[in-house]
Amino acid sequence: MTIRIGIIEDDEALCEGLKTAFELEGYEVVSAGTAKEGRSVLKDNNCDLVVLDCNLPDGNGFEMVKRLREYSSLPVLMLTARGSEIDEIQALEFGVDDFMRKPFSLAVLQARVRKILKKKTEPFLLTSENLTMDLKGGEVCLNGEKIFLSGIEFRLLKFFLENRGQILSKEQILNHIWDSSENYVDENTLAVAIRRLRLKIEENPSKPKKIRTMHGMGYIWQER
């Protein structure tokens, strides 16, 4: 399914340049040069993301985002020619997903668009048998009952579920879960975190069936 990007920008040369660049990446593009045209673009074209200029001839991007957020979570990347930090703060408070000042690197803009779109398509729920993990809400349920996990336990469970059926070495897990600057973290820290996680999610933590130890190799999340 083709991704459609809306561009609302009154600078015709910039608008045309962005349109061409996104089309070369395989996106469909619809564009507008005023707030009025932009509202029609958002209403009628079922966009997946919009690149929106902060200043338009007949209005401003802030007001457009404010109205949009009353009924939609459509991702918005806002552009501005002004250097004020207040603009960025206001844009983020109104609910934009990213913010760039002009002039900007086209390659960086394209990378940020890809990042936003990737985040939009990532699943909010991870499930495994009787366990459900809500990534957006930060909740984990076991047999329909909410269980509390620490931040490390949550990240550890997420990593296992995202790599179920694969043997993960201790080094892989340590590097993914803990920041590399935390030099004091070692394999014993990992073993303690896994033991605590097993106590919360395993039927019999002393004989785990979900998080299995693969001696000499690491750990694996196993499903029946």
113 and 130 in a common domain: no
Q: What angle do CA 92, 46, 20 make, to 5 degrees?
A: 80
Report in angstroms the alpha-carbon separations of 208 from 88, 109, 155, 173, 196: 49, 46, 19, 18, 12
Domain boundary among 121, 136, 161: 121
Q: What is the pLDDT of residue 67?
A: 86
Expressed as residue numbers, the domain containing 158 is 125-221
Checking if the pLDDT of 122 tops 70, the result is no
Q: How far apart are CA 100 and CA 33, in angstroms?
A: 18
Reduced to 3 states, what is the DSSP secondary structure of residue 188?
A: helix
Crossing angle for the helix pair 187-201 and 151-162, nearest 10 degrees?
A: 80
**Do 58 and 13 have their domain in common?**
yes
* Residues 58-62, mean pLDDT to the nearest whole number: 88
Q: How far apart are the C-alpha atoms of 77 and 55, rounded to whole Å?
A: 13
Of the three residues 94, 121, 148, the one that is the final residue of a domain is 121
Confidence grade of residue 90 (pLDDT, cut at 50, 70, 90)? confident
Phi, psi of 37 (to 5 degrees): -65, -35
Number of domains in the chain: 2
Model pLDDT for residues 73-85, shown as the tens digit of each residue: 889 999 988 766 7
pTM to 2 decimals? 0.58
